[in-house]
Amino acid sequence: MSISIKIINIFIIFSFLINLNHSINFECQYGYFRWATKVDDKIIPIFKNQYSCVANITGVIAYNTVTEVSNNHLDGRSSSNVIVLKIFKQSLKKFPENVEEFFPYLKAIFINQCKLKSIAKNDLRPFERLQFVSFTGNNIKNVNSDVFQYNPMITFVGLGSNPIEHIGAKFFDHLKSLKTIILSNNTCIDEKAIRNNEHLSQLKLDVAEKCPPTKEMLEYDKNGTKKRQFFRRALGLEFLDDEESSAIESGL
């Protein structure tokens, strides 16, 4: 065997080992579960009897690319039938990548008590059907304005029990369908609004006062607006309203 072929073979093996060590797997308990949350002794229903994956994470937790999901489905079900993903009390500092390759139709994502440090718009972009998200009990400090930019159907947001200090000035702009938001036990705020428009309106004011965005977050919003205006002009969308142009842009 020539030296060049040996080098190629070594490179292939090395690449394989790197990919293997940079991946995580989901060992799922599949089933039809009823999902609800309890706030002030009130039970808030989320989903009833939806096919779900309650995931136990295996692999190298320092990385966050999902390469395998267990196939122990109930009869007649497959990964494409999974509506709810729940990850609870795992070590997952980053949002898992590549989830959409296995669960493309998620309507609810719960990543609770997992030491998650941040959540960004591109993490949630593949899940346009999302209605319910919960990132309770993690290590999230800042929440940008555009985190839910690609998820217009969201009605429930759980961000309680995080060390949140700053929230983007336009955070609520992308939550047109929001009914319930939990911001209890955070560093900057300890409030919630449960299916009450009056409470939600007050909470928005309180967030602006108690959790002001950092200068970096304001600059991020400003630059994002400039880029959006540039692309709208370039694409000939400047004469459309925001809803129409957003629908076109999201399909690009």
Per the domain annotation, does 206 fall within a domain? Answer: yes
Per the domain annotation, does 15 fall within a domain? Answer: no
In this predicted structure, what is the pLDDT of residue 55?
97
Same domain, 199 and 219: no
In this predicted structure, what is the pLDDT of residue 220?
87
Q: Which of 156, 142, 48, 163 is nearest to 109 (CA)?
A: 156
Same domain, 155 and 242: no
Residue 204 clears pLDDT 90, i.e. is over it: yes
Q: Which of 154, 126, 153 is nearest to 135 (CA)?
A: 154
Confidence class for position 225, pLDDT limits 50, 70, 90: low
Neighbours of 55 (CB within 10 A): 25
Same domain, 202 and 230: no
- Rounded Cα distance, 115 and 139, in Å: 5
In this predicted structure, what is the pLDDT of residue 152?
96
Residue 237 clears pLDDT 60, i.e. is over it: no
Q: What is the mean pLDDT of residues 181-206?
A: 92
Q: Is 184 exposed, middle or buried (0-12, 13-18, 19+ CB in 10 A)?
A: middle
- Rounded Cα distance, 221 and 87, in Å: 30
The pLDDT tens digits for 72-103 are 999 999 999 999 999 999 989 999 999 999 99
Residue 117 clears pLDDT 90, i.e. is over it: yes
Same domain, 137 and 147: yes
Residue 19 clears pLDDT 90, i.e. is over it: no
**H/E/C letters for each residue in the chain?**
CCHHHHHHHHHHHHHHHHHHHCEEEEEEEEEEEEEEEEECCEEEEEEEEEEEEEEEEEECCCCCEEEEECCCCCCCCCHHHCCEEEEECCCCCCCCECHHHCCCCCCEEEEECCCCCCCCHHHHCCCCCCCEEECCCCCCCEECCCCCCCCCCCCEEECCCCCCCEECCCHHHHCCCCCEEEECCCCCCCEEEECCHHHHHHHHHHHHHHCCCCHHHHHHHHHHHHHHHHHHHHCCCCCCCHHHHHHHHHCC
Q: Region of 29 please: left (phi>0), alpha (psi -120 to 50) or beta.
A: beta
In this predicted structure, what is the pLDDT of residue 15?
44
Residue 3 clears pLDDT 80, i.e. is over it: no
Residue 226 clears pLDDT 60, i.e. is over it: no
Our count of domains for the chain comes to 2
Domain that holds residue 221: 215-252
Q: What is the mean pLDDT of residues 139-164?
A: 97
In this predicted structure, what is the pLDDT of residue 245?
47
Supply the CATH number for residue 129's domain. Answer: 3.80.10.10
Per the domain annotation, does 8 fall within a domain? Answer: no
Same domain, 123 and 180: yes
Confidence class for position 36, pLDDT limits 50, 70, 90: confident
Q: Token pair of 239, please?
A: 């004469």
Residue 24 clears pLDDT 80, i.e. is over it: yes
The answer to pTM > 0.85 is: no
